Structure formats: structure tokens, C-alpha cells
Structure 1
Amino acid sequence: MILYERLTFRVPQGINRSIRKQAIHADSFDRSYNGAIFFIHSFGSIKRTTVSERGIFVFKFIFLVRWGLPSFLFFISFFGPLLGIILGFDAINGERTRGTLSLILSQPVYRDVIINGKFLASIATVAIMIASIMVMIAGISIAKLGAVPNGQEVARAFLFFIACILYIAFWTSLAILFSIVFEKSSTSALTSIAIWIFLAFFVYMIAGVIADEVYPITRQSTPELLAKHESLRTMLLRFSPAVLLEEISAAILNPTVRVFGPMFETQLQGLILTPLSLGQSMLVVWPQFVALVAASIICFAVSYLAFMRKEIRST
């Protein structure tokens, strides 16, 4: 908890107390989750580095490549929403059920202090957890590789870290929203999980069905029709935050990625496949970054407004 103390000592007193309370609530889960993910992925990272080659992009190889075990990106995209939901599904209705929310509000504490503290504490927990896992895994893998990343690769890893935080922040704010809307914690948890399952799995089937209906594919289909089909499918898939994170990670950690979606041979002619700079890679995925930031902000803004207007009675 020393890290939480250092993070919050300059925050206003009301928010400081709320952050500490939420941090204590998440601390035990943080340790077990952190240890499990580190053990699983560090084992896979060590295994992958024994078959590595020189001249590769270090963090791409560490966080994106799969060799026997799922990649670190897979763990974040799959377990990150569950982490965000666990941290937020009972943030408000759990306090209301225990009768502590009305007790807190009876003190000279503003409502926005509570909701802000809940959200900031959850994000701080996620940030410390992911940062510690990434640093430990990268340290073991770099030592095994014997290759030191340059400044631009470190900057790319930091942007990947920010994208992971934004991704989990969306699910945390969504879970907090449902904890405000629903009276029972079980209802908010099940609703959050249902949306996660839909956006993580069913969106792929729905996108494919819609694309097949709009642009039917046959053996006689032209390349232009195939491109339209794939473009529509890709656009629909981007309603899933997991797809946005995957595209951001692929472009940021792999400088050779230039575009997402279909390309014609005429577009590839004369193209020099040199690695892109960090700024050029950001230009490739800036719409995905903006969409992920907007989704997190909008979801938290709705949660904020809902909580400020929520009628809270003492029980």
C-alpha cells in the first residue's frame, strides 16, 4: 500500500480517502492476479526467447508473438475486461447494500469525490499491476535475448501500456455505471459480463453475417467486391474494444504494419517495406486510439452523471 500512499498524498482529502478505501478493496485481488499472470507469461517469454533471432523488434517479440502459450496481448484482451468488471461491479451498489454509502454522504463529502475516487483507485490498481507485469516480463526476456531496446522501442512499449490502461478503464467505467444503475451487485456483474461476451465473441459472427448479406461472396466475386466485404466486416469489428486494442498493439509494437484491411497489388507496387517511425505508426492507428479514449471518457461521464442524480436513502 506504500505506492497508493505516494500516489494520493496530494489529492484532496475526500478523494484521497475514497481512493484508499477502493485500493484496499482491490489489493488482495491485485496480488493474486499479478502473480498468476506473471508466472504464466514469464514462463512463455523465457521459452520464446530461447528460439529468438537477432535483428527483431524486441517488444513485438515479447508481447505479441505466440510460441506455445498465448501472448501477453491475449491475456490483456481476454482477462483485462474481467479485471475491470471485478474492480467496478460493486463499487456503488455494494456500498449502498452495506449502508456505508449513506453514512459517507452524511459527512461533509461531495458526491463527485466518491465516484472520482472509485474510478481513480481502480485505474491506479490496473496501472500498477500492468506496469509491474510488463517490467518483470520485459526484464527477464531482454536478459535472455541479450538485446537492449532503444529509446523509440521503449516509447512504443509505453504507448502499448497506455492502450492497455485505456482498454481496461472502459470496462471499469462500464461496470461502475451498472453498479449505479442496478440495485444488486449480482445484476451489475452479470450485465457487464454479458456485454463483454457479446463484444468479445459474438461481434465476430454478427460482423461476418452482416458483411455476407450486404456484399455476398461467390466464386465469381471480383477483388473490388471482396475488398468491400472485408472493409465492412473490419468496420463492424471495430465496435469491439478488443479489436481496437489488437490493432493499436500491432501497429505500435510492430513498425512494419502500415494498414489494416485489404490492399490491391497496385497499391503494393513500388512500396518500400522499411520500418515506420513512431510518429508514422501513430498515424496508422490514431482513429483507434481516439475511439478507445472516447469510449472510456463517455462511459465514465455517463456514470458520473448517473451517480450525481441518483437518489440515495439511508437504510
Structure 2
Amino acid sequence: MNKPWLAEHAISPEHAAELIGHQFPELAPVTTRLIGEGWDNMAYMINDKYIFRFPRRKVAVELIENEIRLLPFVQDKVKLQIPVLQFIGEPSDAYPWPFAGYAYLAGRESCDAHLSHDNLCRNAPILAEFLKTLHSIPIAEAEHLGVTYDKRDRVLPSTRLPMINTNLAAINALDLYDIAVFADYVKGLEHLTFEARTTLTHGDMHMRHLLVDDSDTICGIIDWGDAELGHPAVDLSIVHSFLPREAHSDFLSIYGDIDENTWELARMRALYSCSMMAVYAYDIKHQSVLQEALRGLDFVAEGLL
């Protein structure tokens, strides 16, 4: 199985400190602490005050440039915290790609909080309000910033179905989950149609990009590199992957009506996302992400009953 999360260029703490100190001497002396490593970026806490993100794959360069353009625009339009851009690092002989520094956002990834069933349900209205606001931003304003349209067919069934089958086969081989529960559903995806819709989307809504505070309440949304003009089902997949079925009505009461095709495309995207995250987490030995990815599969399965 292809592993798109493997790094092409890893940045050590020493290298990060050197790059930051050279381009931003006002931050010297620079202290660094690795706080996260995802598919696309390595994140360091700098001087206990800022978060600097460095692309670890070439494909992530476009994503961080996209985030640099978009964040100031979205900042005042949503109620939840999002990263506040403070520093833009330029490519150099020492490091070939741009990088960025942000004010530290308080909170922890929801996958590390292991939210209870009740707390997940309690967060449904918060997610709904956030996505309703984001999806209501005029497309023309996003286009003016240079936000691009979906180029990866993120909820196109003919593109995602082979990926889902590959992920589920890997999960089965690793004995991580009883995938038989999805057999009829996956077979039916061959007949799922795609009806185009367009909104400004975050593009990568999952448990690692939701920050929660000490009361287990969602307080921030991070990692905006995948934001694009695309189908709202890309973001709405979080309803199927993160919320118990009993919380769906609370979500919909605030977000508003969702047509059947969008709802089903979102469910498909949730199965893709959770299955991919499970394989990824197992490979890098990230237990909390694996646990939450498997719980996400439970939620998807629950919704099929």
C-alpha cells in the first residue's frame, strides 16, 4: 500500500532553530520543541509562544502557501479560534520551501482528549455553527484570494471507492476492525451519484484538526492548507466520523437542511477518511489517532443501521 505520509524532508529541532533565528533574529535565542508531525508538516513550539510549521513533503508547499493567503481572510468570519499568522519564512539554500509561524492556540487535538459520548454530542452545535458560517462565505471573495477549486475529486465516488477498498483491505489484513459491516454499503457506492455543489471548505476536517479546551469543548480549527472551493460534503464528513448518530439532529437543526446526495457523499468521505487514518496511525504507531479512527468507523457503521 502506498504511504503518502512518509516525509521527503524532515526538519530537526536544531535546523528549525537555525532557520528561524536567521530569518527572524528578533526571536533569538530560539528554543524549539516538536509538538506534532502530520502527513504534510512538522510543527514546533518556538520560545513557548509560537507554532512554526515546516512542510515535510513537496506537495505541502502549495498547501502552506494556500493557508498563508486564506487565514487572514477567514479570521474575522468564524467564531472558533483559527491560527493567526505571525511570520512567513522564505525558501533559502538552507531549506528549499516556505514555512510559517503562528501565535500559539490553546487547546489539544480532540484525538488526545478522548471525548466521552456525551461530550461529543455536546459539541455538535459548535461544529454546526462553524461549518454553517464557513460554507456561507461568498465564493467570489474566496476566488479573489486565489483559492482554487477541488483538483483531487475528494467526494467523487469513482475516485474514492478504489481508495476505500484499498484502505479496508489493509485494515482487514492488520486485523484492526471487522470490515464485513461495510460490505453491502461499499458495494452500493458503485451506484452513488455525484451532484455538484460548491462552497468554501476547510478541506480536511477530522479529529486531529479539532482543538478542544480543558472542558472538552471544541475551541479551534487548525491546518487550513487543504481549504478550497469544493463540495460541502468534504467538510460534512465530520458529522459521520466524529459525532454519534443521536447528535446528527442537533447538528442539522443549526446547520440547516442537507440534501440526500450531499449527506451520502459525506458518509462516503467519512469512511474514506477514517479508514485511511486508521492505516496511517497503525503505521506510525500513534495510538490515540488509531483509537479515534476506529471509533469513527464505529460511527459510520452506526449510521448504516
Pair in the same fold by TM > 0.5: no
Length-normalised TM-score, structure 1: 0.27
| Higher RCO structure, 1 or 2 (CA under 8 Å, sep 6+) | 1
Higher helix residue share = 1
Q: Which has the larger radius of gyration?
A: 1
